[in-house]
Amino acid sequence: MSSYTPTGLSGNVGDSNILLQLLSERPQRFLTLFLLATTLTATVVDRIAVVVGNQVITETEVQREIALTAFFNGEKPVYTSEEMRKAADRLVEQKLVRREMEMGNYPSATEEQKNQLLAETAKKFGGIADLERQLTNSALTLADLEQTLAWQLSLVHFIDLRFRPAIQVTAEDVQDYFRTRILPRQKPGETLRLADFRQQIFQKLSAERADQQLDEWLKHAKSTTRIEYKKAVFP
């Protein structure tokens, strides 16, 4: 996986030149001082990629989002302009949802839920040790993964509390889905019964309609929020 470094590394050139001169005269005495001074004068600046209301998304956050998505998909990250924009769009939606969750005092995932999801994820990667090794190879940390998993849990809670209560799935909806989506896959000699699929269909239709409601809400939230993609990052 390609790695990246923060942009905007700068230092005090004048101070460094003086210290270099002293170092050439008495190298042993001033070595520690030189290293300390250059560390203190160096400043890392992470460019702002997107402004969302009074919040910001940095370029590093966009790159990390690409890396995490690629990690979950088992792919190599691609940092093209198109992928950067897609990742930024996802982070914009996260910002909008997080703001709504804070304003509405929506509950976040519990530590027990986070730990359970982390354990399930680690199992898929061969255990926590293998998971951490693969994350390191992808220039990611366990903390990066934990934050993403926590966000996924919180988003599910938000959708369930905000949109699901208003979702209506009728018996006719379930029957139509069974007739048009399930029965056509029935093999010769096989008998598919609605009763065996009823709950599964109900859950699927509920989730689809909740997602549709979320998309509509996000569309409205975007239209009423100042969102600025910085040209320095998105030319």
> For residue 24, what is the domain's CATH number?
1.10.4030.10
Q: Number of folded domains in the chain?
A: 1
Taking the C-alpha atoms of residue 196 and residue 136, their distance in angstroms, rounded to an integer, is: 44
- Which class for 137: exposed (0-12), middle (13-18), buried (19 or more C-beta within 10 A)? exposed
pLDDT one digit per residue (tens) for the chain, 235 residues = 433 333 333 344 444 443 344 344 444 444 443 344 444 444 457 899 999 999 999 999 999 999 999 999 999 999 999 999 999 999 999 999 999 999 999 998 999 999 999 999 999 999 999 999 999 999 999 999 999 999 999 999 999 999 999 999 999 999 999 999 999 999 999 999 999 999 999 999 999 999 999 999 999 999 999 999 999 999 9
pTM summary value? 0.76
Query: Is 97 within a domain?
Result: yes
In Å, what is the CA distance from 76 to each residue of 73, 127, 138, 200?
9, 21, 9, 34
210-227 pLDDT, tens digit each: 999 999 999 999 999 999
Query: Is 28 within a domain?
Result: yes
User: What interhelical angle do 81-103 and 59-73 show, nearest 10?
Assistant: 100
Taking the C-alpha atoms of residue 161 and residue 104, their distance in angstroms, rounded to an integer, is: 11
| Residue 196 parent element (H or E) | helix 194-223
Query: How much is the pLDDT for 31?
Result: 41
Query: Is 224 within a domain?
Result: yes
CB 140 within 8 A of CB 149: no
**In terms of residue numbers, what domain contains 79?**
13-164+213-229
CB 202 within 8 A of CB 182: no
In Å, what is the CA distance from 95 to each residue of 4, 47, 55, 105, 170?
23, 17, 8, 15, 34
Give which of 64, 56, 79 is closest to 228, Cα–Cα. Answer: 56
Query: Is 199 within a domain?
Result: no
Query: How much is the pLDDT for 117?
Result: 96
Query: Is 154 within a domain?
Result: yes
Query: How much is the pLDDT for 29?
Result: 42
Query: Is 131 within a domain?
Result: yes
Query: How much is the pLDDT for 3?
Result: 38
Query: Is 2 within a domain?
Result: no
In Å, what is the CA distance from 230 to each residue of 49, 57, 84, 135?
5, 10, 12, 29
Query: Is 185 within a domain?
Result: no
181-199 pLDDT, tens digit each: 999 999 999 999 999 999 9
Query: How much is the pLDDT for 44?
Result: 54
